[in-house]
Amino acid sequence: MSHTVLIAGAWISAGLTIFLFSFLYKDNPFFKIAEHLYLGAGMGWWCQIYFGVLQEKVWTPLTHHEWLVLLPALLGLSLITQFIPKISWLSRYGFTFLMGYGSGLAIPAGLATDFINQIGGTIQPFANLAGMTAFTLFNSVLMAVGVICVLIYFFFSLEHKGAIKKVSNVGIYFLMIYFGAAFGNTVMARFSLLYGRFDSLYTFSGKQYLYATQVILIAMVTYFILHGFLTRNKADQDEEAA
Amino acid sequence: MLKDKLNAVLKIDRRWIFLALTVVLFGAIIHPLGLLSKNIARDTQNAYEFMDKIPAGSFILLDLDYDPSTAPELSPQAMAVARHAFRNNLRVGVVTYSAGATGLIEQLFAVVPGEFKKEYGKDYVILPYQPNAVAVMTQMASDLYGIYDKDKDGKDTRSMPVMKGIQNYKNISLVVCIAGTSITDIWVAYVGDKYNVPFIAGVTAISQPGYGPYLQKKQMRGLLGGMKGAAEYEHLIKTPGKGSSGIDALSLAHVMVAALIIVSNIAMVILKYL
């Protein structure tokens, strides 16, 4: 990659990042440009990838006279007929295939992985009760109690009063602990993303990138100052005219 | 008087908080404090140890399913895992089911293999993006070449030395999935559990708590969570990278948030009883 292309990339990257962050101050045309560019570029990227797949999976086999690929290709195309009301009934064939094939794959796998295995995981530790330390025993009991209490909280066929209410209230505490942990992790994840962008901005602030970050940042601040000044003057004039 | 001041604190313009956060994060980037991730999580340690015990020359499948929106967290993880694999002379096959990941994969593999003098086609191969991950994973159980007969550049994979002896999951020592999507669940359900393939995941910090049950049931051999997971893995392979340098910024930002929560709660309590 040539040096010029690298510098251009750095300016585009730094510029778009600053434009998007500028929304935190207030809405502005630069944010809108970056937003629309993001949507357009994202869609463009996805389209070229998907067309590449169509070429590889449908067009190339057809050129080698592998006619069987027409069957899944037609089923796939039938989904698009949803947009043409007169022949939209054709889409049912594609959806039927997707439903049958999807359910057949998903139901046994989902049941085994997320249901039976997890019930096993809750009960299994008690199979080795004699070999348990006090801590592992406490851990296993806590987990089993948590699972039961949360399940009861989500069991709506019984009125939540008396003992059931007490148990479901304990379930709420378990849920709250989970939500707290999830929120903490969410904060960490968001900071990581912010750090990623700031790290790039810091990189692009170097001499080798012709101080892209500083120049764009100063330009943005100047814009906001000028815009604020001009709009205030205009507002004053409108007020006087009124 | 005090009441007015406390009310003003609670009604502070949020843009001041954004500015303070910017200063804290940039400060940590410009002047690193070296606050390393000293507590290695059990799940990261397990992932490292499992990978470390795989004999040299074995083939691992590295699924990289992250796009630019999660790259700051997941790219350091992917880099650390790839470095570990190459350092241990493992053969690596890279796959993706996320259209946004293809460019990032090329970026990563333009750097890491060169550090270990690894050759494309001999030590690693990048397989093309495929839609419909479930169908692809199911097909790979019987014949990997039914899907991946060509690499990302359209070259024949069967003739590549890196693919020698690889036919299906039976020949794959480990699957590592670093993803910002729910594809991790699909690997566990359709491959890990079904074909008894050892599986390790790297996920965003947001989704990390949800994978506890899989870890407890050993459906996953290890888990890297967010940038912290990346920093821990970098620490274990003794190669600091973007994960380790990010820990400074994360730690300071967390201190700031905790301080804000404490200050605002104290203000609320004082206002309530004043």
Question: Could you tell me which CATH number the domain at B42-249 has?
Answer: 3.40.50
Name the E strands within B134-194. 174-179
Stretch B235-253: mean pLDDT, rounded? 89
User: What are the residue boundaries of the structural domains of chain B, listed by start?
Assistant: 2-25+255-273, 42-249
**CA-to-CA separations, A101 to A105, B134, B182, B192, in angstroms, rounded:** 6, 11, 20, 20
Q: Å from A22 to nearest chain B CA? A: 11
What are the tens digits of pLDDT across the range A229-239? 888 877 777 77
- As beta bridge partners, residue B203 has B179, B225
Predicted confidence band of residue B37 (pLDDT cuts 50, 70, 90):
low
Between A34-38, A88-92, B28-32, B177-181, the lowest mean confidence (pLDDT) is in B28-32
- Strand order, beta sheet including B199-203: B124-126, B91-95, B59-65, B174-179, B199-203, B222-225
pLDDT at residue A1 tops 90: no
- Interface residues of chain A, partner chain B, Cβ below 8 Å: 24-25, 42, 45-46, 49-50, 52-53, 56, 102, 105-106, 109-110, 112-114, 117-118, 120-121, 143, 178, 181-182, 185-189, 191-199, 202
8 Å CB contact between B98 and A45: no
8 Å CB contact between B88 and B120: no
Residue of A118, A191, A192 lying closest to B213 (CB–CB): A118
- Comparing CA positions, the residue from B119, B117, B157, B133 lying closest to residue B63 is B133
Q: What are phi and psi of A156, to 5 degrees?
A: -95, 0
Give the count of beta carbons closer than 10 Å to the beta carbon of residue A19. 21
Give the count of beta carbons closer than 10 Å to the beta carbon of residue A217. 18
What are the tens digits of pLDDT across the range A100-133? 988 998 999 999 999 999 999 888 888 888 888 8
The amino acid sitting at A78 is: S
Chain A residues closer than 8 Å to B258 by CB: none
Query: Residue A106: in which H helix or E strand, if any?
Result: helix A91-110
- As beta bridge partners, residue B176 has B62, B200
| A189, A192, A194, A200 alpha-carbon torsion, rounded to 10° | -150
ipTM of the complex: 0.84
Q: Å from B1 to nearest chain A CA? A: 30
**Which residue of chain B is at minimal alpha-carbon distance from A26?**
B15
Residue the block writes with tokens 């007020």? A239
Tokens matching residue B233: 């893995």
pLDDT at residue A210 tops 90: yes
Q: What is the pLDDT of residue A239?
A: 76
Residue the block writes with tokens 């796959």? B95
| DSSP 8-state assignment for residue B55 | P
Q: Counting every residue, how long is chain A? A: 242
Q: What is the pLDDT of residue A34?
A: 95
Q: What are phi and psi of A131, to 5 degrees?
A: -90, 5
Say which residues have a Cβ less than 8 Å from residue A89's Cβ, sequence separation at least 6. A81
pTM of the predicted protein model: 0.87
